[in-house]
Amino acid sequence: MRRRSFLTGSTALAGLTALGTTLPARGPALADTALEIPRVMAEPAADTVGLVRPDTRFDVVTVTRPVTAAPEPAIRFETAGVLGDWEPVHLHTSGRDDRDPVSSAAVRAPEGATGYEVRGGAQASALNLNDGETLRFDGPARTSLSAPDDGHQTPSGSPGRSYGRRSSVRFVTRAGWGADESYRFDDEGNDLWTAEFHPVQALTVHHTALATSGDHAADVRAVYHLHAVQLAWGDIGYHVLIDPDGVIYEGRHSGEDGVPIFSEWPRPGRAASVTAGHAYTFNHGNIGVCLLGDFTDELPTQAARDSLVDVLRLLCAVTGVDPAAEIEYVHPGTGAKTPAQTISRHRDWLDTECPGNAFSEVFDTEIRQQVIRGWA
């Protein structure tokens, strides 16, 4: 299996019932799709200093550097031969636990930009999200993850928790948003990030710090390319992503059985999530949910916040995690214990602005308390 020949595929089931004593092999079938989506084209900058004019038009500039105490980098764009003002780059500190941590960000290029310049000792790359060769994706474009109805009996016989407004959440599958699955393999066909599963302890919320475009699936593909290819992780570092319209996307690949996020049908106390790369050294058993957008100075849309509450309630229901609990997060490898809340922001784990200053100020009342109120 050559890296550039493995192009298709959804790993998600068309429907997923999370709890119950009898589980079907597959959920109700949704219509398969045959999507044609352009491959992301990347042009790394040859130098870290000076104006860069990529050979093709570009939509996003990604910025990466090792974790350092140096000031965050800045970027400016050239449009119509004129350089604009310097803008701060809001770096995330994240990464796979088996690698060194990295600081990275993605910045939306203004319409008609012909060049860019980055300062602050960072590597940069220009991404074209729309003009690459066409890839074909076959399989279901949507799937769903469901929680029990009120009063449902769990396998142990105890009453199930109330989920709240909605008993099911619909995802756009990896095939539905155009995940180029070749990114997950090296040239010999070896998996670059072998799936590892651990019992769920916490849920963590992020933002991409990337202004969204009119094509939110392309925004997801930009983040995927940054994580999987440029940072060489082999996959996206989030389990779930949510766009400004409230649409929910399947993230990190969790196996070929079609169950998003989890190793198998999730049950309270026995739900194990695939390890991702969203909270360095706190990734095991920690589900990362990321909102598309930059919430440094503004809030997510109401639709995005509503979907975030739905997703967090659902994940609490299917894993048994109490959204109001104060816990000691235990690293399964080292045994190190860290006090935490079960529903946290990225900045609660690491020194980062994520998920944005404006959103962080209202996170407890707008998100955490709403999830708790829906948890009977």
| % residues pLDDT > 70 (the chain) | 86
Beta carbons within 8 Å of 73's beta carbon, 6+ residues apart: 63, 65, 89, 91, 118, 119, 120, 121, 122
Bridge partners, residue 248, by sequence = 171, 242
CA distance 319 to 301: 27
Name the residue with higher pLDDT: 228 or 8: 228
Question: pLDDT tens-digit profile of 170-194?
Answer: 999 999 999 999 999 999 999 999 9
Per the omega criterion (within 30 degrees of 0), is the bond before 268 cis? no
pTM for this predicted structure: 0.88
Least confident of 58-72, 233-247, 286-300: 58-72
CA distance 244 to 217: 11
Question: pLDDT tens-digit profile of 268-295?
Answer: 888 999 999 999 999 999 999 999 999 9
Report the pLDDT value the prediction gives residue 154, as an integer from 0 to 100: 36
Single-letter residue type at 368? R
